[in-house]
Structure 1
């Protein structure tokens, strides 16, 4: 699955006030639920927090890819967030996180889930991508930049 298949403008947020890992995941869960039929914010948050308990999804260089499988999800859903201020995310390199790409997938989509996570990890390992995303200042600019760089 490609980034343009996951992201939508309403689920691309630039300069979100984070505060903490828990607060960001709560806020993201509410926003996703508002824009996705059949998903409840509590279920999304519970899935994301449950996954974080297994180990942080902070992959280093200020990036986190919180993800989970959800029984009620009918398709993969992505959300891209650029935070105003980096937050502690228990990342593998102990660096604070300012860019998050959330991924929710249907429970039965294990192969697709792993392939999509690998694609996201590869994309966010590129310094040109990170720099360009961090230079954005609006939701639309963040969305457009992410899609443009994912195609490159």
Structure 2
């Protein structure tokens, strides 16, 4: 499992109109519905259910919301960059502006955990997060996250 497999270009969005965690979850669900082919309402409910177990804000302005969805066949993700950070009840109490959401089949087991670990390791890189925050072009963000920057160097 690698980031280009998890994150397709159409799963990367820059969002300027989110002011609350609940609205962010709805925006994630709206983006994901086109990626995974499930209704946004089902995705939103699954994200909210998982979040009720404990916040997925991992610190340093990063959140990793995730959900298991019964009708999926593979793990996929969406990346959102917020123009204005929001409170996410993160472990370090810092507002969040980089969000990588993961969606996995209900029975994915280890694959879901491997994907979560991969994304977590990737977004723990301060240099990468600085580059992500400095860019607002979805294609550039996708390239940065998936490690394709070297192949598209100017």
TM-score (norm. length: structure 1): 0.93
Distance in structure 2 (CA, Å) of the matches to 1:16 and 1:76: 27
Distance in structure 1 (CA, Å) of the matches to 2:81 and 2:110: 28
Alpha-carbon RMSD: 1.6
Q: Which range moves more in the overlay, 1-10 or 12-21?
A: 12-21
Instruction: Report the CA distance shift for 1:77/1:16 in structure 2 as closer, same or farther (over 3 A).
Output: farther
Distance in structure 2 (CA, Å) of the matches to 1:44 and 1:128: 31
- Look up the match of 1:81: 80
Distance in structure 2 (CA, Å) of the matches to 1:51 and 1:150: 33
Distance in structure 1 (CA, Å) of the matches to 2:126 and 2:134: 12
Any idea what SS the aligned residue of 1:90 has?
coil
- TM-aligned CA deviation for residue 15 of structure 1: 4.0
- TM-aligned CA deviation for residue 116 of structure 1: 1.0
- Look up the match of 1:129: 128
Any idea what SS the aligned residue of 1:108 has?
coil
Distance in structure 2 (CA, Å) of the matches to 1:150 and 1:18: 28
8 Å contact 1:123–1:150 — kept in the other structure? no
Instruction: Report the CA distance shift for 1:69/1:150 in structure 2 as closer, same or farther (over 3 A).
Output: farther
Asked if 1:45 corresponds to 2:59, the answer is: no
Matches within 5 A, 1:2-151: 2-37=2-37, 39-148=38-147
Aligned length: 150
8 Å contact 2:36–2:72 — kept in the other structure? no
Distance in structure 2 (CA, Å) of the matches to 1:65 and 1:119: 11
Instruction: Report the CA distance shift for 1:96/1:77 in structure 2 as closer, same or farther (over 3 A).
Output: same
Distance in structure 2 (CA, Å) of the matches to 1:46 and 1:150: 35
Any idea what SS the aligned residue of 2:107 has?
coil
- TM-aligned CA deviation for residue 150 of structure 1: 9.3
* Structure 2, gaps ≥5 residues long: none
Distance in structure 2 (CA, Å) of the matches to 1:15 and 1:139: 10
Distance in structure 2 (CA, Å) of the matches to 1:17 and 1:142: 19
Q: Which runs of 4+ in 1 moved over 4 A?
A: none
